[in-house]
Amino acid sequence: MLEVSGLVAGYGPVRALDGVDLTVAEGSITAVLGVNGAGKTTLLRTISGLVAAKAGTVRLAGRDITRAAPEDLVRQGIAHVPEGRGVIVELTVEENLKLGGLWLRDRPWLKTGVARMFSLFPALEQRRRRRAETLSGGERQMLAIGRALMSRPRLLLLDEPSLGLAPRTAAQIVATLESLRAETGLTLLLVEQNAGTALSVADRAVVLNLGRKVADDTAASLAADDRVRRAYLEM
């Protein structure tokens, strides 16, 4: 589904990604792990066109998307839930969801999609007319995911969905993502600093350190790898 090869990106002189290769299989959950500053966020931002690649390629289902604009990528099936969630706090829950579906230009879907998101996240339905600023951290994360799903993605990029959430809330969100994958075959690329949470749901994981990939294996093998855990993960 997604093939990243030799990807280099950064900010001015800072090389946040320094030749990263990554393959994400269709229908899989792949975790991107590593400590603060490893380049995880930059990897997602470069895949979704928000940061320009300086070298390397990104392919989606075989098509080169390295220099595509973010809005084209949404149409091609990539949705990105940024760190810090990125919902628009002045808008209601329902308005935020509809916003996520606007690029599709499919009016009937706006209605059915919103209903689908409410069945995935019942807590949001009760708050549909409230402004997003009144939501708890967990509800905001659900809303951000719901908004991304409104663009009917094939590939969902998630940046630290469990950041700042109570463990139970984080587990609930992760469980929803897992059932979504099982039901719809959605492909997920999940950035997490909390390696335990990510490895519990992921099929595969890569570990980044200072912009380079230092491990790439099944989630089960990585969870059992003491060397990697001690050197690069906080677990």
DSSP conformational letter for 203: S
CB nearer ligand ATP, residue 1 or residue 191: 191
Number of residues interacting with ligand ATP: please give it, by CB under 6 A.
12
Closest CB 210 distance from ligand ATP, rounded Å: 8
Task: Spell out, one character per residue from 183 to 222, where the chain touches ligand ATP: x when CB under 6 A holds, - when not.
Answer: ----------x-----------------------------
- Nearest approach in angstroms of CB 45 to ligand ATP is 7
Residue 205: name the closest of 5, 23, 20, 31 by CA: 31
Distance of CA 30 to the CA centre of its chain: 10
CB of 35 to ligand ATP, least distance (A): 7
* In the complex, least distance from residue 44 CB atom to ligand ATP, rounded to whole angstroms: 8
* 20 to 49: interface string for ligand ATP, x by CB under 6 A: --------------x-xxxxxxx-------
Burial track 155-189 (b if 16+ CB lie within 10 A, e otherwise): bbbbbbbbbebeeebbebbbebbeebbeeeebbbb
For the residues of 47-77, what is the DSSP string, one character each? HTTSS--SEEEEEETTEE-TT--HHHHHHTT
**What pairing do the DSSP bridges indicate for beta strands 187-191 and 29-33?**
parallel
Nearer residue to ligand ATP within complex by CB, 66 or 96: 66
Using CB under 6 A as the binding rule, the residues of this chain from 102 to 161 that contact ligand ATP are none
Q: Min. distance of Cβ 166 from ligand ATP in angstroms?
A: 20
14 is an interface residue for ligand ATP by CB under 6 A: yes
Closest CA to 123 of 110, 106, 136, 109: 136
Which chain residues interact with ligand ATP by CB under 6 A? 11, 14, 16, 34, 36-42, 193
